[in-house]
Amino acid sequence: MTGTVADGVPAAVREAFEGLGPELVAVRRDIHAHPERAWTEVRTTRLVADRLAAAGLSPRKLADGAGLLCDVPGDRDGPLVALRADLDALPIDDEKDVPYRSTHPGLAHACGHDVHTTVVLGAGLMLARLADAGRLPGRVRLVFQPAEEVLPGGALRMLEAGALEDVDRVFALHCDPRVDAGKVAVRVGPITAATDQVTVRLTGPGGHTARPQLTVDLVAALADVVVRGPAVLSRRVDPRAGLSLVWGRIVAGTADNVIPERGEAGGSVRVLDRAVWAQAKDLVPEVLRELIVPYRAGYEIDYVQGVPPGVNEATSAELFEAAASSVLGPGSVEAAEQSMGAEDFAWFLERLPGALGRLGVRPPGAAEAPDLHRGNFDVDETAISVGARVLCASALMALGHAE
């Protein structure tokens, strides 16, 4: 990026953000109070589309009304950069006592997608202001994606809808309760793990617990699968691949003295290495079958390949860091750790250069904050303006870099 363009980014961002802070907090609280499950984010999509249209833009909703694309039309001879947000909430109860608590029992924005949506909306409004003033040296595509929390996720649908068509570079943010509000974190290379889902269903004739030899002991079989499966897998792959099988659900039986006819366990497979991820879809079912066969149980193993590891491209990560430092000041960017969590933004990173950054949401000075995917998760709302400004600056840096 030329020195002239880079030097002008902080001022451009500061001017474009003028007056947006309170509105963005209100938008985030509205979305937080009205969470929607994966593939049903129609209200959230409409809210975002209406605000973008009011800014003079032309949002394009997906056919079912969940998810949208919107281009900010700057210099048509310039490059095209994309900013991505996810829209869906999690199927858990909101446990907070706040005015913007979820109004839908069993649904809550416990992963920060309400914040992600708001900061991309905010960045889009800022970029639209710059475009209106003739100060946007290229174009920016805003991508609001449904269904990040399920496998397979909405990233693939957005790709089919042309989200990355003609795009040169892509950026996204994800809330991080381990980083203070006012800061962001990023790293070059792998930043998230691949994640798949596995479900094991066992069947047998059932029977009395006094005579397990006359039937199929499904509870023992499930226990063996759950305990020994991860251990055996750890000896089948290079430890540096970071392959992990963790069970989240096991169901069998209704009485203490009855061996059940059916049992089921479900879990997630996570892996850091791209090549081992490609092998896992065959390796994991093979290992589990080997454990089940001695019990003579009938079995079904469903394996759903989810998302690949997320890998930040070096130049994009450097542009993100430079952008954040320029608008937030020295000491505002931390080194992000590689996470075993997954993000289907990884599908975008598989196709073109880009970077996923971590948005600090922990109140400064707090020893700890509620973790993601918990019913009491919340954010320091100063992070909203930080995220919008950083993404706006990242887009401007990327557009200038391509000149």
Final residue belonging to a domain, choices 280, 307, 334:
307
CATH number where 14 lies = 3.40.630.10
Nearest to 81 by CA among 318, 355, 300, 296: 355
Q: Say which residue the tokens 């430079």 belong to.
A: 322
287 and 313 housed in the same domain = no
161 and 173 housed in the same domain = yes
Tokens of 169: 């570079």
Length of the chain: 403
153 and 61 housed in the same domain = yes
At 6 the pLDDT is: 65
Report yes or no: 383 and 359 within 8 Å, Cβ to Cβ.
yes
Query: Chain-centre distance of CA 132, in angstroms?
Result: 31
What is the tally of structural domains in the chain?
2
- Residue 342 CA to residue 110 CA, distance in Å, equals 15
Q: Which residues does 141 contact at the CB level (< 8 Å), separation at least 6?
A: 69, 70, 71, 72, 80, 81, 82, 83, 163, 167
Q: Say which residue the tokens 């991505």 belong to.
A: 84
Report yes or no: 28 and 115 within 8 Å, Cβ to Cβ.
yes
**Per-residue tens of pLDDT for the chain, all 403 residues:** 344 456 789 999 999 999 999 999 999 999 999 999 999 999 999 999 999 999 999 999 999 999 999 999 999 899 999 999 999 999 999 999 999 999 999 999 999 999 999 999 999 999 999 999 999 999 999 999 999 999 889 999 999 999 999 999 999 999 999 999 999 999 999 999 999 999 999 999 999 999 999 999 999 999 999 999 999 999 999 999 999 999 999 999 999 999 999 999 999 999 999 999 999 999 999 999 999 999 999 999 999 999 999 999 999 999 999 999 999 999 999 999 999 999 999 999 999 999 999 999 999 989 888 899 999 999 999 999 999 999 999 999 999 986 5
**Structural domain boundaries, residue 151:** 3-191+309-401
Nearest to 84 by CA among 275, 402, 310, 241: 310
Final residue belonging to a domain, choices 307, 324, 343:
307
- Residue 367 CA to residue 26 CA, distance in Å, equals 27
Half-sphere exposure of 169 (CA within 13 A, CB side): 27
